[in-house]
Amino acid sequence: MTILEEVHDYWNRQSCGTGVTDAPKHSRAYFEEIEQYRYAVEPEIFAFAQFTRHSGQKMLEVGVGAGTDFLQWCRAGTQAHGVDLTEEAIANVQHRLEIFSQRAVELKVANAEKLPYPDNNFDLVYSWGVIHHSPDTEKCFAEIARVVRKDGTVKLMLYHRHSLVAFYLWVRYGLLRGRLWRSLSDVVYHHMESIGTKSYTRSEVHDMARRHGLAVRNIDVTASPTYDLLGQYPWPLRAGAYVLASLAGFSRCGWYMRIEMTKGCG
Ligand SMILES: C[S@@+](CC[C@H](N)C(=O)[O-])C[C@H]1O[C@@H](n2cnc3c(N)ncnc32)[C@H](O)[C@@H]1O
């Protein structure tokens, strides 16, 4: 089995973020509970995506998953196109749009390493937590740069290697197992969601953007209250996380690297 097949099978079993509800699959309550949970634990998505600001634009979301953000793109009045590697995700999102009376221009199964769109086709390409799961992340990055139009915007969330979350994984799978030599990349690769997950530093992202003609406008790695600061754990762990974050710098040690780029200028 190739890594891409393993990634497909992992996410096709259950779409990301759908395990938080017991409501019947594809019911209104099912989707509402998924949405409520997502934006409670990841409120930073709104400030980053700025859904309504892109109203009217031709938008592609790469890796729609269960479609919580995709629904917001539709509600915001973008010309929404969405792709995902898995049939499960696409079926989920089709049901979701129907229940909430929303329409997308197009929604289909596709591999981000080979996007089925012409060059310079979208005003905005958005992807939250997706391409670091694909075996050839740089190919996905190149494809995103290819399909966004000149002066168009790319908003991408990639996992940040120099983060508290990566450090916690290292403590759990390196330190506590007596395997101190394991690197942060290695523990993320083997123990974060599907096999082969990658994590990046800010300078790696700058280099990758330069190679593909994108200018980085902003990279935000502020600590996530839920994940880096262990918001759902007992207070002694939360207190420890606060101490670590204050030593590392709250704005420097977050797991979510929110990257905003523009094509062909800067
Ligand atoms: C962590 S989930 C994120 C989903 C969604 N963006 C979200 O934030 O909930 C990762 C998603 O990436 C998709 N994915 C992984 N590799 C992909 C690829 N090469 N092409 C398209 N989608 C991919 C998976 O199928 C899965 O739906």
Domain locations in the chain?
3-160+196-222+254-263
Q: How far is CA 198 from CA 29, 137, 164, 188, 242, in A?
A: 34, 8, 15, 7, 25
Instruction: State how far the Cα of 198 lies from the Cα of 196, in Å rounded to an integer.
Output: 6
Does the pLDDT value for residue 104 go beyond 90?
yes
Q: What is the pLDDT of residues 69-82, one digit of tens each?
A: 999 999 999 999 99
Q: What is the residue whose two structure tokens read 């690197």? A: 183
Query: For ligand 1, is residue 257 a contact (CB within 6 Å)?
Result: no
Closest listed residue to residue 59, CA positions, set 151, 129, 127: 127
Cα of 63 vs centre of ligand 1, distance in Å, is 4
The domain 3-160+196-222+254-263 having CATH identifier 1.20.810.10: the answer here is: no
Model pLDDT, residue 111: 98
Instruction: State how far the Cα of 205 lies from the Cα of 143, in Å rounded to an integer.
Output: 15
Ligand 1 nearest atom to the CA of residue 17, by list position? 9
Q: What is the pLDDT of residues 26-40, one digit of tens each?
A: 999 999 999 999 999
Instruction: State how far the Cα of 44 lies from the Cα of 49, in Å rounded to an integer.
Output: 9
Model pLDDT, residue 266: 44
Query: For ligand 1, is residue 130 a contact (CB within 6 Å)?
Result: yes
